[in-house]
Structure 1
Amino acid sequence: MLIFPIVFSSCIPHRDIVYLQNKEAATDSIPVITEKQTPYRVQINDILNIRVRGLDQSNLTIFNPVGDENLDADREERAYFDGFTVDLHGEIRIPILGKIGVLGYTTEEIEKMIEDKLLKEQFKETANIFVSVKLTGLRYTTSGEVGKPGTNILYQERVNVFQAIANSGEIPVTGNKKNVKIIRQYPQGQKIHSIDLTDVKVMESPYYYIQPNDIIYVEPLKQKTWGTGTTGVQTLGTIITALSLVTTTVLLINRI
């Protein structure tokens, strides 16, 4: 009779593997969720892609990479060499303009900053200067119980945690979806945040959308360390196999 408690305790419950459950209501209908996303503020070691446009483009070539027209080729490598890396002092170095402090600013604020500096020091209003600043891809790392651990880069403005994990091979049944860790970079250091992917309210979390250099860690469920299986059938099969082995061993010993 002890087999049944072992079977039920070692298999993984359905509620632990289903995403986005409405845990506060009796029905399965998903309520309207208000997403919360704060503007990303540039950190040290970020790489910025800066483009300057104007009526006379020939006067602006010094501000733009030579390979601008072939941006899709070897995108990651080109972004590294042609982009502007934020140094340890929170600054980038732009031709003619020199060093500009960008740490803690949004890309929109940096665009305005560079545009104002160009109009003040190099060009007139009639030049119709237009500055575009983007992050050179959203780089993040997944580790732990995911299909393909490692570092990935997505060339999108917004990436939520489900998209990031799906791009990393998904979380297997043995991964703890209720306590996914987000390790995030801040000017003062790193912080660890936890989110529950089985709760629909995760979409209201400020950590639902990932940020550059985030580390997503999925810890294994305790059932994995037991090695008895992830479902009741697997667990029962493991127990029966173990009991058969013990019985066979005892019978062989008694025959000796």
Structure 2
Amino acid sequence: MIRRLFFVGLIALASSCISNKRITYLQNLSDSTTYNLDEFIPFAKVDYKYILQPFDIVQIDFASSDPLLVEGFAFQRGQQQGMAIGGGGGAGSDPLYMNGYSIDEEGMVEIPRIGKVKIAGMNEEEAKNLVQEKINAFFKDDVYVRLRMAGIRYTTLGEFNSVGVQIIYKNRATIFDALANSGETSILGKKNRMFLIRQYGEGVKIHQINLNDRALLASPFYFIQPNDILYLEPMKIRQFGAADNLTASLALFGGILASVLLIVNLVTGGI
């Protein structure tokens, strides 16, 4: 009887353990028959120039050797000063939501003294050139325009240590940049089954990503895009507790099992 309970306990504990294969990124790195650690892995042959979409936020700066020419854009300079105190990440602070130029549902941004300019459907460089063209019509090449994405906004859901809207203040970021920026995944997340929801023009697509597979480095999803949603499913072991208290849960289970075995041993020994 005692042996039976002991083996049942061992099986329960073993089934509750998490294999390294389920939590290690970019596996088979040491498999020399498949991969070489020094192997050059080219990026997937896709266009990484992000196409601006409605509801994106862009930052537009104006500069001139004559300060009087940019007085009409003075509020923009004030915004830049305000940005210095703004944070980035999932804490809910997004200074550029108020300070940047939001693209409306028709793909337009409204610029002081210029009016509405349609930039949705263009990449950063094309949009910058269009705004520069509009500015030149007024100022005859005396005002320089800089336009860029106001950071990459994406959302994390599920087994992340920080869930919510995240911001990376770069114009290009990898999936691992996104993971690090959101506090990494919890130990209970299915790293071989992460879902990426991405916007494409008039709709969205759901893609499945395997963070355990080194092939991700050459995947078209290696780089994240603005408005991506990352969802990570929990493992079934979640029923034993969250990642923070999983060890405590297993210790409690082990203690209960030891107590039961001791009581059974005392009872059977006393008979």
- Fold match by TM threshold 0.5: yes
In structure 2, relative to structure 1, the CA distance for the partners of 1:92 and 1:243 (3 Å cut) is: same
- Structure possessing the higher relative contact order (Cα contacts under 8 Å, 6 or more residues apart): 1
Question: What's the offset of the Cα at 1:20?
Answer: 0.9
Aligned to 2:41: 33
Per-residue displacement from partner, 1:28-69 (whole Å, max 9, x unpaired)?
743321124611111221111101223323212223514055
Letter of the 1:51 partner, please give it. D
Per-residue displacement from partner, 1:158-211 (whole Å, max 9, x unpaired)?
221112112222122211100111112232122211111111111111111111
Aligned to 1:17: 23
Distance 2:229 2:80 in 1: 32
Distance 2:189 2:23 in 1: 8
Distance 1:69 1:90 in 2: 24
Aligned pair partner of 1:107 in 124, 127, 136? 124
Aligned pair partner of 1:184 in 188, 198, 201? 198
Distance 2:97 2:119 in 1: 18
Count of equivalent residues: 249
Distance 1:4 1:74 in 2: 52
In structure 2, relative to structure 1, the CA distance for the partners of 1:74 and 1:106 (3 Å cut) is: same
Per-residue displacement from partner, 1:98-150 (whole Å, max 9, x unpaired)?
1111112111110011111222x21224x2x3211112222222121111222
Aligned to 1:96: 113
Contact 1:39/1:106, CA 8 A, preserved across alignment: yes
Q: What secondary structure sits across from 1:179 in the alignment? A: strand
Aligned pair partner of 1:123 in 128, 139, 158? 139
- Alignment of 1:199 onto 2:213: yes
Distance 1:89 1:175 in 2: 38
Structure 1, unmatched stretches of 5+, are: none
Q: What secondary structure sits across from 1:176 in the alignment? A: strand
In structure 2, relative to structure 1, the CA distance for the partners of 1:10 and 1:29 (3 Å cut) is: farther
Aligned pair partner of 1:73 in 37, 62, 85? 85
Aligned to 1:53: 63
Question: What's the offset of the Cα at 1:10?
Answer: 3.8
Letter of the 2:17 partner, please give it. C
Distance 1:78 1:220 in 2: 32
Q: Percent identity?
A: 33
Contact 1:11/1:235, CA 8 A, preserved across alignment: no
Distance 1:92 1:16 in 2: 45
Q: TM-score, normalised by structure 1?
A: 0.81
Aligned to 2:90: none
RMSD over aligned CA atoms reads: 3.4
Distance 1:77 1:164 in 2: 16
Aligned to 2:147: 133
Distance 1:130 1:25 in 2: 53
Q: TM-score, normalised by structure 2?
A: 0.77
Greater CA drift, 20-29 or 186-195: 20-29
Distance 2:94 2:202 in 1: 29
Letter of the 1:43 partner, please give it. Q
Aligned pair partner of 2:162 in 143, 148, 152? 148
